[in-house]
């Protein structure tokens, strides 16, 4: 595939970029974290969406090297902004199934954090249901190792897959991210029922909740009233490069 060849060559030539989208505490408006998001710029100034190239990276095995690079970049970025962010600020990084299947993923994470002198508490790993369903026992073991180091675990796109809820009980989760498809459907009866059920479950299990894809004040108000702690979305900021992030954190201490 040409696209895989281009991805490999652009990655090796350091043309992939890691961007960052702010996460806001709904009750206070405080900046409490960012999600690191890969960007693949093209010669014409456009970007190929991660939804297209992440699956290619997974299928070709490239995601192992890319994922390692993402961790490195995330730690470097964390160090560059550490002086301007609050103590509980977290850098969230998405991980894929093949990374979990690596020999010693938790050890790799520990090594990168230590080398950059980033406290494990600063890192949040975002997993999806597809990761969990791939090999529940392996994933539970790796997550326990990450958790023991102090890394936090968020479950991404929650509720989108039709997987068993039993894993919510078995994994050491800290945060539940409500997928933006649900957020978009909040104005419908069934949408509201699903959202409020997810939030209620999160609260009762002692998990933090974050609403994704918040685009309007009305959406923010709705989730604030439901006691959802955090939000992410275009209402606050789109993903931005490191230079823009530096300015953003300086302006939003």
- Which of these ranges, 123-131, 142-150, 200-208, 223-231, lies near Mn ion under the rule CB under 5 A? 123-131
- How far is it, in rounded angstroms, from Cα 65 to Cα 217? 39
Residue closer to ligand G, measured from CB, 124 or 156: 156
Among 171, 185, 215, 242, binds ligand G (CB under 6 A): 215
Chain residues 161-190 in contact with ligand G, contact rule CB under 6 A: 180
CA-CA-CA-CA torsion sign (106, 107, 108, 113): positive
Alpha-carbon distance of 63 to 69, in angstroms, equals 9
Could you say which residues in the range 29-68 bind ligand G, by CB under 6 A? 37-38, 49-51, 54
Which of ligand G, Na ion, Mn ion, none does residue 202 bind to, with CB < 5 to 8 Å depending on kind? none
> Which lies closer to Mn ion via its Cβ, residue 11 or residue 126?
126
Decide: is 110 part of the binding site for ligand G (CB under 6 A).
Answer: no
Q: How far is it, in rounded angstroms, from Cα 57 to Cα 67?
A: 10
Nearest CA-CA partner of 176 in 200, 192, 140:
200
Residue 62's nearest CA partner among 40, 45, 43 is 40
Q: What's the closest the beta carbon of residue 11 comes to ligand G, in angstroms?
A: 12
Q: Which residues contribute to the site for Mn ion (CB under 5 A)? A: 94, 126, 156
């Amino acid at each position: 595939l040409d696209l895989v060849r281009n991805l490999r060559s652009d990655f090796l030539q350091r043309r992939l970029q890691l961007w960052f989208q702010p996460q806001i505490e709904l009750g206070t408006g405080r900046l409490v974290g960012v999600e690191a998001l890969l960007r693949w710029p093209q010669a014409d100034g456009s970007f190929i969406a991660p939804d297209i190239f992440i699956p290619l990276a997974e299928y070709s095995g490239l995601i192992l090297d890319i994922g390692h690079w993402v961790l490195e970049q995330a730690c470097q970025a964390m160090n560059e902004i550490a002086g301007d962010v609050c103590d509980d600020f977290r850098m969230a990084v998405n991980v894929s199934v093949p990374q979990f299947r690596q020999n010693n993923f938790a050890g790799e994470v520990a090594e990168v954090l230590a080398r950059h002198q980033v406290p494990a508490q600063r890192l949040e790993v975002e997993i999806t249901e597809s990761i969990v369903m791939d090999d529940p026992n392996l994933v539970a073991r790796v997550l326990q190792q990450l958790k023991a180091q102090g890394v936090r675990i968020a479950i991404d796109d929650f509720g989108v897959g039709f997987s068993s809820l039993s894993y919510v009980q078995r994994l050491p989760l800290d945060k539940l991210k409500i997928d933006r498809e649900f957020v978009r459907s909040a104005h419908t009866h069934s949408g509201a029922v699903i959202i409020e059920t997810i939030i209620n479950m999160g609260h009762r299990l002692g998990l933090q909740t974050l609403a994704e894809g918040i685009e309007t004040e009305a959406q923010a108000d709705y989730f604030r009233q439901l006691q959802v702690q955090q939000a992410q979305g275009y209402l606050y900021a789109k993903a931005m490069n490191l230079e823009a992030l530096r300015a953003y954190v300086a302006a939003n201490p």
